[in-house]
Structure 1
Amino acid sequence: MGASIELENLSKRYPGNPNPSVDNVNMEIKAGETVIFVGPSGCGKSTTLKMINRLIEPSGGRIRIGGEDVTDIDPVKLRRKVGYAIQSSGLFPHMTVAQNIALVPKMVGWSKGRIKERVEEMLDLVGLDPGEFHGRYPRQLSGGQQQRVGVARALAADPPVLLMDEPFGAVDPITRDHLQDELIRLQHELHKTIVFVTHDFDEAIKLGDRIAVLRERSHIAQFDTPEAILTNPADDFVSGFVGAGAALKRLNLTRVRDVPITDYPTVTVDDPLQVIFNKLRESGTNEILLLDKRGRPYKWLRRGDLMRAKGSLARAGTLVNDTVTRDATLRDALEAVLTDSSGRTAVTGRRGEYTGVVDMETLMNSVHELLEADRLEAMEHQHELEEARAAQTHAEQEGDGGEEKA
């Protein structure tokens, strides 16, 4: 489980610089909460993050984790209790995946048997087959796989706090979306306290329970929920981060698991052609989803494809190019549906196994509901402003009347 984090008057000054890099930051982060630091380059967000585990020593102020003041304890011991994941994974290239993950448990004195079990548990947790990846070296992994191992290493000793410094910034957009979904799923299971630095506001909306929008020297411009920041930014600086299309950005706040997922007729690559024909005919649809041997979406098959198959599915159908998980956002799902151009996309579980389908109609209904909610909220806010102005005008008139009588 997570632990609370309190930053009290936290500051950092570097010799020769008249202005502090981080100036008097005060913040309370709840146990089990995911908080995102977002702000312009050089605003001090990474410096603030690194002071929490004292990779950078504070010049002033206090840090409390779980109520314990960690400002004066041994920083090496502190770092063993705080998970840390960075961009490009930070894996040691001369160590295998298993050795990288085992690093901190070994340092804190875990037994070999316990470490071996933990390595396998962590690989499974981040969606990597322990038998396949245990002995590999980082150079033998894709960027996304390296980042998964980096997260596994950060969580290996079961720390209550996980610090993440732009961990997904160096991977391609599709892999980044999948890694974000994986982090959301992990947090549902683990309930750690996560502090995450990014410059991408869309990523902040997708991942954060609360977002701290930071100005220069880590001054807090607004610290609130994604919904509150999108609908009621504190000032023009925050509005600049929100950018255009706030209503559409709210698609990042709703998950696929929150909307209806429909079942779809499926067959497997091991099914005979006649069975597939029969299933398609019985389903009453013009299309069926072919699953591979592991139950993962493989191809969309239409009636015409089967007619042309001539006893083999090797060249029949259309490959499934994109899928979404239940933890993906509606924005992810909408992009997948539009990319596929067929009005639907397959939804998968943690191992890529098929769990259902979400379609364009469902997504558009959700978009309309969000837009309507925004419209009603804007009308209510306008009504409140008008009432406040009327009350102020009335008070001023009463005051003028009183002065005339006097």
Structure 2
Amino acid sequence: MAEPSHGAAIELENLTKRYPGSAQPSVDNVNMEIKAGETVVLVGPSGCGKSTTLKMINRLIEPSGGRIRIDGEDVTDIDPVRLRRKVGYAIQSCGLFPHMTVAQNIALVPRMTGWPKARIRDRVEEMLDLVGLDPGEFRDRYPRRLSGGQQQRVGVARALAADPPVLLMDEPFGAVDPITRDHLQDELIRLQHELRKTIVFVTHDFDEAIKLADRIVVLRERSHIAQFDTPEAILTSPADDFVSGFVGAGAALKRLNLTRVRDVGITGYPTVSVDDPLQVVVNKLRSSGTNEILLLDRRGRPYKWLRRGDLMRAKGSLARAGTPVHDTVTRDATLRDALEAVLTDNTGRVAVTGRHGEFTGVVDMQTLLNSVHALLDADRLEALEAQTGLEEAQEPRTSAELEGA
């Protein structure tokens, strides 16, 4: 596998977009520096200019004024087609060409760039595996035969196929259901750990911004920057009331989006396979010391939770026994995702899965509650220290202190 390129720094200097006939510019004099390899998320009210700002980076929308530099190169005046081949782009509803197969969609930019056929073929396989899709199963499918989540994965694979240093994403997960959206977000976090591209991501969902971003840009109208900082800094120290409005209530609980499942205790759990004879399953449950066991499908993915009573009623078959696993999380999921999954499955734990959905362990409710309490305690301590510091600063100084000053 070829070593992926890393990200490139992006500089926006006095970037402006004014449409003919408009009294005000849509984007007004934006200055921003994005570090190589970081994920920056633009968030703001509808119509504030965040998507326009994003599209000016690869000149899908031409700027009216200002400069764009990528890795030090001023791209404002170079051929926009050549620029777009160097910048990956993923959008809502993925934008796949319906008359092309998955492989043809992914191969589009490498083919236009002039890559050899063998290299393109290898790259398609590599990209499908990277986004968690089996090349043998998905390579020759057409987009209409894919679920919404699978289409979005292919869209990301296509955006990354030519190994660009920069990836622009315009609300790419906005059109899928909440569970699929959580898993796609986790997948993007995992990919970023591996690839370290520079990602500029637009969303209207502040919780999504907290989950994905190294830094968040909160935009006012005309893309004026209200605050550009880390998610934790924005949650704990919003710049003004406008930013506080985006944070909303429950900032402490929103910090659950800053901690990943991989950072807490993932433990093993007794499992059996759908191919195991019933007596093997019964014996495994008896020897496990638990009242429940996890049944895996033929690919090693979580399938059902089996309790002792389920096995007594199985009558020689597991087909109708047990409770289906409704939700799982990956190691890159947030504690908030895990907590929601535990409450949805109502088993007191959630199964953690790998890239292809295979079972890797569980996180239980007690572990999650301990993490929530730790976050709340940290917030209380921080608030107490801040209040103590304020009171000390306001205390009247003695004569001796004043003389010493």
- For the criterion TM > 0.5, the same-fold answer is yes
- Amino acid corresponding to residue 164 of structure 2 in structure 1: P
In structure 1, the partner of 2:118 is 113
Q: After the TM superposition, which residues 56-71 of structure 1 pair with which residues of structure 2 at under 5 Å, given as runs?
A: 56-71=61-76
In structure 1, the partner of 2:87 is 82
Q: After the TM superposition, which residues 2-401 of structure 1 pair with which residues of structure 2 at under 5 Å, given as runs?
A: 2-390=7-395
Shift of 1:350: 0.8
Distance in 2 of aligned mates of 1:387 and 1:18: 51
State, as a whole percentage, how many aligned pairs show the same letter.
86
Distance in 2 of aligned mates of 1:19 and 1:384: 44
Shift of 1:321: 1.1
Change (3 A) 1:62 1:389: farther
Shift of 1:386: 3.0
Distance in 1 of aligned mates of 2:100 and 2:369: 48
Secondary structure at the aligned position of 1:309 is classed as: coil
- The range that moved more, 193-202 or 307-316, is 307-316
- Amino acid corresponding to residue 323 of structure 2 in structure 1: T
Secondary structure at the aligned position of 1:386 is classed as: helix
Distance in 1 of aligned mates of 2:390 and 2:33: 31
Distance in 2 of aligned mates of 1:32 and 1:385: 38
Distance in 2 of aligned mates of 1:42 and 1:226: 22
- The range that moved more, 141-150 or 201-210, is 141-150
Distance in 2 of aligned mates of 1:394 and 1:62: 56
Distance in 2 of aligned mates of 1:204 and 1:278: 47
Shift of 1:276: 1.5
Distance in 1 of aligned mates of 2:395 and 2:217: 34
Distance in 2 of aligned mates of 1:308 and 1:45: 57
- Amino acid corresponding to residue 242 of structure 1 in structure 2: V
TM norm structure 1: 0.95
Shift of 1:389: 3.8
Change (3 A) 1:62 1:304: same
Distance in 1 of aligned mates of 2:191 and 2:252: 27
Distance in 1 of aligned mates of 2:238 and 2:387: 15
Can you give the 5+ residue segments of structure 2 that lack an aligned partner in the other structure?
1-5
Distance in 1 of aligned mates of 2:178 and 2:398: 55
What are the Cα deviations for residues 127-173 of structure 1, in whole angstroms up to 9, with x where unaligned? 11111111111111111111111101000000000000000111111
- The range that moved more, 6-15 or 377-386, is 377-386
- Amino acid corresponding to residue 21 of structure 2 in structure 1: G
Secondary structure at the aligned position of 2:313 is classed as: helix
Shift of 1:226: 0.4
Shift of 1:390: 4.2
Secondary structure at the aligned position of 1:17 is classed as: coil
- Amino acid corresponding to residue 329 of structure 1 in structure 2: T
In structure 2, the partner of 1:402 is none
Distance in 1 of aligned mates of 2:234 and 2:390: 18
Shift of 1:394: 8.9
Distance in 2 of aligned mates of 1:183 and 1:3: 18
Secondary structure at the aligned position of 2:163 is classed as: coil
In structure 2, the partner of 1:403 is none
Change (3 A) 1:238 1:268: same
What are the Cα deviations for residues 36-63 of structure 1, in whole angstroms up to 9, with x where unaligned? 0000011110011011111111111111
